[in-house]
Amino acid sequence: MAGTEFYGAEERKEINDVLETGVFFRFNHDAQRNNIWKAREFEAEVAKLVGARFAHAVSSGSTAVSCALTAAGVGAGDEVIVPPFTYIATVEAVIFAGALPVFAEIDETLCLSAEGIIKAITPKTKAICLVHMCGQMAQMDEIMQVVKDHNLILVEDAGQAMAAGFKGTSTGLFGTTGCYSFDFFKIATAGEGGVMVTNSETAYKLADNYSDHGHNHEGNNRGMESHPILGFNYRISELHAAIGLAQTRRVPMIRDVNNRHKKFMMSELGKIPGVSFATIPDMDGDSATFLNMFLPDTATAQRTVDELNINGVAGFNYWFTNMYHFINQWNHIKEGHVAAKTNVQLLGAPQDYKNLDLPKTQETVGRLISFGIKATWTEEEVKSLVEKMSVCIKSAMYQTV
């Protein structure tokens, strides 16, 4: 991913600013830090990029989801509709908020569908945790109508889709709260980090308090701050924020280059009969971090994976067998294997997780192969990759069982 591709003088300058002050903690120590506030700058840069009123940086994308859920008012006993295709942190955050995940169908956007959400709604449904997968976005007009019709809270996990948008609004800003990941594999990285975004001042203040043991961050004496709510430690360090700041400034360039590469790949691979691509509701809003390709069926996709591996073509994910992104492999959730009891065990799961009926999701993910797009590719490298992919795909297509 692009965050690991670009690293240089800009990142070193921001890190050195912090090293020269010796203040790695994001709060207080005003005199010593010489007006160096990297977490604040990082938050401002993300807010500017996506058009949010407020942004709050935390220690990871996972903790950003936790903050987003809590700040939106999702908690103990609430049923929350979640996708079965996501990085597992989304579901973990719901469970550790004390809520109960309810799995619903995705569609060919790779995100929850409005139809799937409606079928999963019960009288106990409190919220939807919508994940924008693989750099793209969900069908937001349809989903926002469901949110409105059923008076639900919408929390967006756009961990894989920062800089994506739908009709001019960034992913993460349709709901009460949203969040992005800045781990090592995203469009921009802080090494580890995440950012919660919102247009609600109330939600922002709650996240700010919650992520730092309830501190209200008023005044310059940490030991005398008030604690409006209970919280925990999800703070980001100044060093991680410094990297995230420099990386966020690179995102518009990365997005533009990725889109050029992706459009070329789609135009060439789309000439192969039987190849199609994940639905992108707003092509102008694609962050283009992945080329998401469909084969005609699961068997053909699996043969294609075999051909790619045999021929040394790397840089792709076959999510159907991926251990941490697809429900088929989440045996610990299905079996309730936890270190300590959660509300799923205490109150009972709202679904039989071992026997979920999600045929559209199974069919969609079974046919899907995603290639990570690199902004550092040359035109020659993209053309060479597409040629190799074409050979593998055609070979898999023509095989008989």
Q: Specify the CATH architecture of the domain 2-250.
A: 3-Layer(aba) Sandwich (3.40)
Closest CA to 293 of 305, 307, 311: 305
Exposure of 388 in the CB half-sphere (CA atoms within 13 A): 18
Q: What amino acid is encoded at 398 in this protein?
A: Y
The pTM of the full predicted model, rounded to 2 decimals, is 0.96
Q: How far apart are CA 157 and CA 186, in angstroms?
A: 13
User: pLDDT, tens digit, for every residue of 26-51?
Assistant: 999 999 999 999 999 999 999 999 99
- pLDDT tier for residue 387 given thresholds of 50, 70 and 90: very high
| 194-198/54-58 β-pairing | antiparallel
Residue extents of the structural domains in the chain: 2-250, 252-322+361-398
Distance between CA atoms of 82 and 281, rounded to whole angstroms?
A: 20
Q: What is the mean pLDDT of residues 319-326?
A: 96
Return d(Cα 193, Cα 179) in angstroms, integer: 11
Pick the CATH number of 252-322+361-398 from 3.30.300.10, 3.90.1150.10, 3.30.565.10, 3.40.50.300: 3.90.1150.10
Please state whether beta strands 290-294 and 316-317 pair in parallel, antiparallel, or not at all (unpaired).
unpaired
Residue 282's pLDDT band, with cuts at 50, 70 and 90, is very high
Determine the 3-state secondary structure of 103 from DSSP: strand
pLDDT at position 358 is: 98
Average pLDDT, the chain: 97
CA distance 45 to 153: 27
Average pLDDT on 123-142 reads 98
Residue 353 has pLDDT above 90, yes or no: yes
State the pLDDT at residue 207: 98
pLDDT digits (tens, 9 = 90+) for 223-270: 999 999 999 999 999 999 999 999 999 999 999 999 999 999 999 999
* pLDDT of 401 over the 70 cut: no
Residue 146 predicted with pLDDT over 70: yes
Share of the chain above pLDDT 90, in %: 97
pLDDT at 4: 78
Cβ atoms 122, 370 nearer than 8 A:
no
Q: What is the pLDDT of residues 42-76, one digit of tens each?
A: 999 999 999 999 999 999 999 999 999 999 999 99
- pLDDT at residue 400 greater than cutoff 60: no
Q: How confident is the model at residue 182 (pLDDT cuts 50, 70, 90)?
A: very high
The pLDDT tens digits for 287-300 are 999 999 999 999 99
pLDDT value of residue 279: 98
- Using DSSP's 3-state secondary structure scheme, residue 271 falls into coil
Instruction: For residue range 98-112, list pLDDT tens digits in order.
Output: 999 999 999 999 999
Instruction: For the beta carbon of residue 132, count every other beta carbon within 10 angstroms.
Output: 31
Cα separation, 27 vs 218, in Å, equals 10
* Per-residue confidence (pLDDT) for residue 398, from 0 to 100: 85
Single out the residue of 298, 261, 333 nearest to residue 90, CA to CA: 333
Instruction: Give the pLDDT band of residue 2 (cuts 50, 70, 90).
Output: low
Measure the CA–CA gap between 358 and 297, rounded to whole angstroms.
16
Does 399 have pLDDT greater than 90? no
Q: Which of 305, 360, 294, 296 is nearest to 327 (CA)?
A: 360
